[in-house]
């Protein structure tokens, strides 16, 4: 069974992601990102805890855990609704027609603590990886700043803070990963 069709289960962490069709973008202006985050809060949070996110111009990443009272089917419906609402708004606003997101969205179950730690970092380093900013820690459409600056939000920060053993350890993990990532990529550029 591929990650695109995996039957999702309550209580399990999932890396959920999707991208725009072709070379299209999903978000053109800051208010597109803000509207999408508001929609995530309204549509996704009733069926899943949101543990991390990063939204870039042509794709997004979410780390979620489906709530015990919800089913994987309900979560899938919520993601489809989220994407549909955004696509209709985007198409209307920018006088565009047709599908905006690839189908189906990717849903990858997190199978162990190592994978959870890596996916959490992977989501937060996406702006750096895609060249959107060198200052990945303060990228405005990533959840990392909520962890780093202990900011209140609709995000479930306590689960990942507990997982890493507190804010200092979470920040240290990300800083270490960033140093390794930058060093490896710099070495590749020099070769």
Walk me through the domains of the chain, giving residue ranges and CATH numbers: 13-190 (3.30.70.1290)
pTM over cut 0.75: yes
pLDDT band at residue 186 under the 50/70/90 scheme? low
Cα angle: 154, vertex 84, 116; to 5 degrees: 45
Predicted pLDDT of residue 184: 74
Can you tell me the mean pLDDT for 36-44? 97
Signed CA dihedral, 176, 19, 140, 38: sign only? negative
pLDDT tens for residues 136-148?
888 999 999 999 9
pLDDT band at residue 80 under the 50/70/90 scheme? very high
Phi-psi region for residue 163, left (φ > 0), alpha (ψ -120 to 50) or beta?
A: alpha
Predicted pLDDT of residue 177: 87
Can you tell me the mean pLDDT for 125-151? 89
- Cα(23)–Cα(35) distance, rounded to whole angstroms? 22
């Amino acid at each position: 069974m591929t990650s695109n069709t995996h039957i999702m289960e309550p209580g399990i962490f999932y890396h959920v992601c999707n991208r725009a069709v072709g070379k299209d973008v999903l978000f053109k202006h800051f208010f597109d990102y803000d509207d999408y985050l508001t929609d995530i809060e309204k549509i996704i949070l009733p069926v899943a805890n949101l543990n991390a996110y990063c939204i870039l111009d042509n794709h997004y990443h979410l780390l979620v855990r489906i709530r015990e009272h919800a089913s994987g089917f309900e979560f899938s419906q919520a993601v489809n609704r989220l994407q549909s609402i955004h696509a209709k708004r985007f198409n209307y606003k920018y006088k565009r027609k047709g599908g905006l997101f690839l189908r189906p969205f990717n849903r990858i179950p997190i199978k162990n603590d190592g994978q959870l730690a890596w996916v959490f970092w992977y989501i937060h380093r996406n702006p750096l990886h895609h060249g959107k900013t060198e200052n990945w820690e303060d990228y405005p459409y990533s959840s990392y700043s909520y962890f780093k600056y202990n900011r209140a939000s609709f995000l479930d920060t306590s689960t990942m803070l507990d997982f890493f053993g507190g804010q200092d350890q979470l920040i240290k993990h990300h800083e270490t990963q960033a140093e390794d990532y930058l060093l490896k990529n710099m070495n590749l550029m020099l070769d």
